[in-house]
A = this chain, B = another copy of it.
Amino acid sequence: MSESTGGTRQRIQAVALELFTEQGYEKTSLREIAERLNVTKAALYYHFKSKDEIVSSFADDRLRRMDELIAWAAEQPATLATRRTLIGRYADSMFAGELPKVMRFFEQNQTLLKSLVVGQQMRDRMMRLAGELSRGDESPAAQLRAALTLFAVHSSWFAVRAPGVTDEERKKIALEVADELLARIGDGD
């Protein structure tokens, strides 16, 4: 209860995430975030000790979930069934709650993957996830297919431009295409 001081911290996170995603992290100033919330910059610094700590604050949760997913995958056999379940679980997390927003933020701010520590961690988790999806087939084509599978889930948000498509339908389409790609992994022998 000692943390629920009106939820200002959460409001800062929400506004920052939105502006960082739409305009870019570098182009969004703390002044702009503060103005949207009708507070001052100094108030922001009470809740976060720097600009990039705001990013870490909402990315850490996402990192934890990815770690869980990767750990689970590492214990499974490298079969098509495992890969399908893995991408299915990943898609579930990408279409639930606030997590897709965080992933969209990183997609829009690719250069942060290099300059911020939390960005490097996110990059690392994505590569590990792709590694699990192609485990058992070390061919270059398999690596590409694994990466595209993840991108299929992400890009279903914007690549499917038809009007009136629900989230559930987007997920279904993404998994349909992903399954086709996964089916081609590991059949080289």
Interface string of A156-189 (1 = CB under 8 A from B): 1001111001000110011011001100100000
Q: Are A144 and B115 in contact (CB under 8 A)?
A: no
State whether A147 and B155 are in contact (beta carbons under 8 Å apart), knowing that A110-B110, A111-B24 are contacts in the complex.
yes
Q: Are B147 and A159 in contact (CB under 8 A)?
A: yes
- Which of under 10, 10 to 19, 20 to 34, or 35 or more describes the interface residues of A? 35 or more
Q: How far is the CA of A180 from the CA of B183 in the complex (A)?
A: 11
Residues of A within 8 A of B (CB): 22-24, 26-27, 107-112, 114-115, 130, 138, 140-141, 143-148, 151-152, 155-156, 159-162, 165, 169-170, 173-174, 176-177, 180-181, 184
Q: Number of copies of this chain in the oligomer?
A: 2
Query: Which single member of B23, B111, B148, B159 contacts A108 (CB below 8 Å)?
Result: B111
Residues of B within 8 A of A130 (CB): 159
Q: How far is the CA of A26 from the CA of B29 in the complex (A)?
A: 12
